[in-house]
A and B are shown apart, each in its own frame.
Chain A
Amino acid sequence: MWEVNQLTFAYDDKKTVLDQVSFKIETGKIYCLLGVNGSGKTTLFNCLSGFLKSNYSLDKYFIDNKLLYIQDEMHFYKNLSGLEFTELIFSLKDKKFDLAEFDRLLSKLKMNDYKNERISAYSLGTKQKLVLIIGILLNYQYIIMDEPFAAIDFIAAEVINDVLKELKEQGKAIIVSTHQLDIAQELADEILFLNDGKVNQIINNFQTPRELKNYIRLYI
């Protein structure tokens, strides 16, 4: 279990974006982080993954080997193919690359045609899928995804949903930030609702996206 306790963060000492945020992440579960624009979702992810320095610190081994943070804007070497890029990341991390598993995941995410295509030709959604594949292959225990459904069509979103559920079955913990309440209601085991710098952790017992929406309205 990953426990975040009283995380506080402020940009330039002026406004406290995250105010003593606490929540628990258990493996084998999917969490959806919800919050209005500017509520600090990306800031929270950046603090959790060590990109922003806050009062909360994780041990280096955890950050480097257990946690994958898929940002809304990931960086690539666009003149490499998807396969070459993945192989390079594995070599840089000094880990063994499983080509058969890579092919299986490509097939599952309907990306077979892109294997030897240069990343410069990928759409935003295809790039997101590639990062997800790398994350799965690197076998991270905790996966954080910032707005993974923002740039993809509903068919690709369904495929990603399936993959995330499969990862959950394998005992991984996934935290996804999204504005799409239907996805959150369908996917999440628990909702992390970020408002006024605080996180409210609630079990997802909502039957419909409307119920979730109404709950959020009440909160705001």
Chain B
Amino acid sequence: MLNRVLTMELGNDKGLRSTRNLLKLFYTFILPNITAIQFAYVIHSIPFIDHKLMLIFVLYLNLLVITIIQYSAQKKIFSSLEKEVLLKFIPNKTKLFIKYRLFFLIIKFNLPMLLFSSFYFETFIRAHTLLFTVFALFSILVIMIFQMYLAIIIRYWTNTMRAVYLQGLQILIFLLFVVLLSGVSFTPVLFLAMLDRYWGETISTLFYINALPIIITVALLAFISISLIILAKQINMRVLVLNRNLSFNLNTATLEKIQAKVYGLDLSRLQKLLFVKDIKYVFRNSKVQITLMGVYHLILLFSIIFFFLDISENEMGIFMAKFYLALTIGQLILSYILGVSFNDVLDFKNDLSVVGNYHIKLSETNLIREKIKILRAFVFPKLTITHIIFILTLLLLNQYMLALVYLLNYLICFWGRKALELFRVKTANQLNSERGFLEFVNFIIIMVIAFLLMQLLNSSDDNIYFFQLLSLGSVLILYFYHLFVFKKKKEVNVHVGS
């Protein structure tokens, strides 16, 4: 059973004897946790961070991560149970299988956040003793158990609840998601506060927080977890396997048409047909996902533009250009991660099968381009519109050299976005090369880009253009490397006819 789950996590059945798999486990399950602990201490040591605001933000992030994990558990893990062959032959292992799958999901995505939060909070506890460290680790365990059993109970409810109550529950969860995601707008507030303190050279003063509310919250969670465990013991796990149709049939035709028109402009006839089909899929597949992405983009777009137009002319220097570059790169990386949730629409195996059924010719290149457009329409940030506003504003203020800095930043981000989109689509279709040397070269290019971007962010006003051009060149190299070199060679499967 554990072997099967490991195979699913690692993407192959070579198990722990393969060095590649051991590395994958290290990168996925160990490195993020070590980084999270380090990051907690780094954040604590930055003098101009408003830690009171940061503590609230960390709490909010935890809520967001918990919600996203619950959503992923329902959408990815439980919905795939029906197709799991193993469970058809040994149905009595359903409970164990579900628990393993949830365990890996939580360890992968929740543990780093929990470790970061615990170690960050710990630095603000007066009684900073071994006792609190033990308590923090206990809290992490409680939250993980809570997550696991909450996911099981939610699945049970959604599969057994009467349709009317279920729709009510869905609306409630949907609203919760929207409220939580609106908290993303908190991020620019945090950055603004940081900038204010940086400009004003305000240093954080040492303060402590009361541990009692944390202890009460964890105790409450522990109590709820025990209740959920008792509840889960009484349910028939087989009920969790079947997929119930939970989608609302809302009319999204107008939105589908607008999206298809805006983003499908430069696609060929065939690509456009598939693009429209995929747009329909995304809108119909999950209303929650699509609304969240919409809210996320609106908040980011408006907060960034509003913030830019709000700052005075004196502050609009090179520093702000670098600040926006860092912010955009952060968004791009976040979008790349969020792109995972679109893997089902990015995977074109079914497209090839459908068109193959009717002998319709369609090349992989056509499909890759079409899927990239899907990512751009729903996931990646709207770079062009924000940068047009930036550059036009600067041109109106006669700040031509600064406008050039923003233009070069835009080009870096534009090609970076293209490279990330291509990488995401290729990853979803297992089209990246598995040759060790090519993977190593890919890693080196990414490291060089990271190094050059760091140099760019630390550059003086005189040599900024030099580092901008170098960064742009390296990003272009990454894109073309992915386009022409870092790809899997096609396996030709020819049967023998004598």
Contacts and interface: CB of A to CB of B under 8 A. Distances in A.
B360 interface: yes
Given A74-B357, A75-B354, A92-B358, A121 B245 contact: yes
B285 A76 contact: no
A79 B256 CA distance: 13
Interface in A51-83: 51-56, 63-64, 67-69, 71, 74-77, 79-80
Interface stretch (B85-93, B188-196, B490-498): B490-498
B395 interface: no
B376 interface: no
Contacts of A55: 497-498
Nearest to A52: B495
Given A53-B495, A55-B498, A121-B245, A92 B360 contact: yes
B387 interface: no
Interface stretch (A6-14, A165-173, A204-212): A6-14
A103 interface: no
A134 B495 CA distance: 30
Interface string B354-367: 11111110100000
B138 interface: no
B48 to A, nearest CB: 49
Interface stretch (B204-212, B273-281, B333-341): B273-281
Given A10-B497, A16-B498, A75-B353, A88 B245 contact: no
Given A8-B498, A54-B495, A92-B270, A75 B360 contact: no
A91 B353 CA distance: 17
A8 to B, nearest CB: 5
Given A53-B495, A120-B245, A121-B245, A93 B281 contact: no
A60 to B, nearest CB: 9
B252 to A, nearest CB: 11
B495 A79 contact: no
B377 to A, nearest CB: 16
A118 interface: yes
A91 B359 CA distance: 13
Contacts of A79: 280-281, 284-285
B314 interface: no
Contacts of B354: 75-77
Contacts of B359: 50, 63-64, 67
A67 B358 CA distance: 9
A10 B273 contact: no
Interface of B: 245, 270, 273, 277, 280-281, 284-285, 350, 353-360, 362, 494-498
